[in-house]
Amino acid sequence: MFLAWLTALLATAGALFLGEVMGQTPCVLCWYQRIAMFPLVLVLGVGLLDSDGRSRRYAWPLAGAGWAIAAYHCLVFWGLVVESLVPCGQGSSCADADVQVAGWLPIPLLSWMAFSVILVLMGFAGKKVKA
């Protein structure tokens, strides 16, 4: 669970760094992913402090929703979703080149990978070790 929390913390710090320090305005889908990621830091962190495995119950829906939104955002970024289904009407474009780190790594892909890692780690944390 610690690694899942650390992944959520690093993803949150990265999103805040890109938005507040680098000045990149998040698109609509990025905001939805932030809505799913930011509370994961608190939910998983409180679960770690109390050694409460039930925190996974609250983290699963957030991580699952974030994963689905990030996967959809990747499809939008790569142009695999038709123009009429793209939710970005105002503000930053969800498929713009600005949603890349270092000019080649898409932020939606980073988000999808972070949610994937969190889901896998929470799955491992839920397994009982048999001796």
Position 129 scores a pLDDT of 46
Residue 131: pLDDT band (50, 70, 90) is very low
If you average pLDDT over every residue of the chain, what do you get? Answer: 83
Instruction: Give, for 100, the enclosing helix (H) or strand (E).
Output: strand 100-101
Cα distance between the two ends of the chain: 21
- Cα–Cα distance between 71 and 73 in angstroms, integer? 5
Contacts of 62 (CB under 8 A, 6+ apart): 36, 37, 39, 40, 43
pLDDT higher for 61 or 101? 61
**What is the average pLDDT across 79-88?**
70
Does the pLDDT at position 128 exceed 60? no
Does the pLDDT at position 39 exceed 90? yes
Domain locations in the chain as residue ranges: 2-125
pLDDT higher for 126 or 47? 47
Over residues 99-125, the pLDDT tens digits come to 566 666 788 889 999 999 999 999 988
Position 80 scores a pLDDT of 85
pLDDT higher for 25 or 4? 4
Domain 2-125 has CATH 1.10.3470: no
User: Of 4-18, 31-45, 71-85, which gets the smallest average pLDDT?
Assistant: 71-85
